[in-house]
Amino acid sequence: SQTIHQWPATLVQPVGSPLSLECTVEGTSNPNLYWYRQAAGRGLQLLFYSVGIGQISSEVPQNLSASRPQDRQFILSSKKLLLSDSGFYLCAWSLGQGYNEQFFGPGTRLTVL
């Protein structure tokens, strides 16, 4: 069966510090991968998606970036965090074709102080 991992689970970072969140998927090959952000009390905003190694598409311009160095690894990064980057970050995967459901990881709660 497929599983998706995210770490860290929680993170408190000062403004201006770098960020690296990691997501890995097990039990499937060539998945589509997604990064979402959920601000407190609000819905989900798609940040990035990837349909293959090294292929990243950005949905929202911001100071975040994403990379996919391996088939089942998806990394969310920032060189300098802003206060507005605080939120709950969710990674998800789906099969590569069709209108397939996305399966979500446990999330990382980021607080920027």
Partner 1 sequence: AQKVTQAQTEISVVEKEDVTLDCVYETRDTTYYLFWYKQPPSGELVFLIRRNSFDEQNEISGRYSWNFQKSTSSFNFTITASQVVDSAVYFCALSETLNNNAGNMLTFGGGTRLMVKP
Task: Record the tokens describing residue 50, joined without a space.
Answer: 């990837």
Query: Nearest CA to 48 among 61, 37, 35?
Result: 35
Q: How far is the CB of 34 from partner 1 (least distance, A)?
A: 8
The answer to whether the CB of 100 falls within 8 A of the CB of 94 is yes
| Position 56 contacts partner 1 (CB under 8 A) | no
**How far apart are alpha carbons 103 and 94 in whole angstroms?**
6
Q: Which stretch binds partner 1 (CB under 8 A): 14-22, 38-46, 68-76, 79-87?
A: 38-46
| Position 94 contacts partner 1 (CB under 8 A) | yes
Q: How far is the CB of 78 from partner 1 (least distance, A)?
A: 21
Q: How far is the CB of 107 from partner 1 (least distance, A)?
A: 5
**How far apart are alpha carbons 8 and 26 in whole angstroms?**
17
User: Residues 13, 28, 77, 88: which binds partner 1 (CB under 8 A)?
Assistant: 88
Question: What number of CA atoms fall less than 13 Å from residue 46's CA on the CB side?
Answer: 12
Q: What residues make contact with partner 1 under the rule CB under 8 A? A: 32, 34, 42-44, 46, 49, 51, 57, 59, 88, 90, 92, 94-107, 109
